[in-house]
Amino acid sequence: MREQNTKFRVAAVQAAPVFLNRDDTVLKACRFIEEAARNDARLVAFPEVYIPGYPYWVRYMDPFKAQKYTKELIKQAVRIPSEATEALCQAAHKAKIYVVIGLNERDPHSSGTIYNTNLLIDPEGQIMGRHRKLVPTYAEKLVWAPGDGLGLRVYETELGKLGTLICGENGNLLARFLLIAEGEQLHIASYPSIPVKDPGGYNLGKDIEIRAAAHALEGKLFNVVSSGIIDSSIVDAVGVTEEIRTILKSGDNCHTAVYGPKGVPISGPLEPGHEGIIYADVNLEDIIIPKLRHDIATSNYNRFDVMSLRLQRRPLQAVHSEEEEEQKLASLLQELKDSVQRLRSLLEQGSIKEAQATIEELKQALERS
């Protein structure tokens, strides 16, 4: 288990991408990572699908006429791993900071399928995991495929137990409860910006505010909320009619802030449309007293003999090879055997910290199984 810090600083980015340009958006993200680290942040969160942007055309155009935009988005999407993820990992390693960044992820086996994904990177520059949005919202289904439960989990980090959800998932009670039940202490919520005059007819900024406060209060945790903005490059690219341009230029409906375990902001919100970073100083000990009162993750304030949640983490895939499954099982068994032997040796040597790290490796291997 990693040695945990109880006091640290977090950062939330509110920014536009270099629209539909993967490489330049990665470079811009790396600059934000460096800036956050210079200001002593230990974690930095980015907006939904920051790389290389949100597909606004699905909201305002005929889907067949908009295919050229979707094609370009797929071409500019990110494979995991790739040169793009390596650049982000190197930036995280150089800055010694945790990074949670939204991106359009290309399916490794398909030329035409992408996912709405949050990528998690640790300060050593290693990919911790990725979470694919379980269900794209409304018109988004024209662009993104649904995700799976593989990345729906909390991660043990030096900053406590870290989890993330994307946009409307932050209103999904089952997904939120799962993270809370796994002991989530630090939540990352990522969103786009929607124009003020969007014909969808709802106030996204207010929705984010309500969801963020609710999750922080109900989970007794810190909630880092990052939203995008709409800049002139997005207007120029998507505003092919005067009506669409008018919508896109009507102002940003978004919300970037950090919430504490009492459900109130401890930093922000940033002014909608303003590009920048907000910071908040977190003390995980602030969670203790609220958890004493209402801890829905345990029998302190729940009844799992009455109601419970079932989880399926097996990744979605078209082909399941028995041979590959057997090879994976053999590899896993060998990994577990090696870890147990290493743990026994470390305990005999009295190397407690190294033994704790090995226990954490064992837990991760068992989760992968």
Distance CA 61, CA 245 (A): 12
Q: Which two tokens stand for residue 99?
A: 């990074």
> Rounded to an integer, what distance in angstroms lies between the CA atom of residue 192 and that of residue 238?
15
Positions marked active-site: 48, 133, 167
The β-bridge relationship of strands 186-191 and 222-227 is parallel
Can you give the length of the chain in residues? Answer: 369
Structure tokens at 19: 């629209």
The span from the first CA to the last CA of the chain, in angstroms, equals: 19
Measured distance CA(358)–CA(325) in Å, rounded: 25
Distances (CA, A) of 20 to 71, 79, 191: 11, 15, 17
Phi then psi for 131, rounded to 5 degrees?
Answer: -120, 125
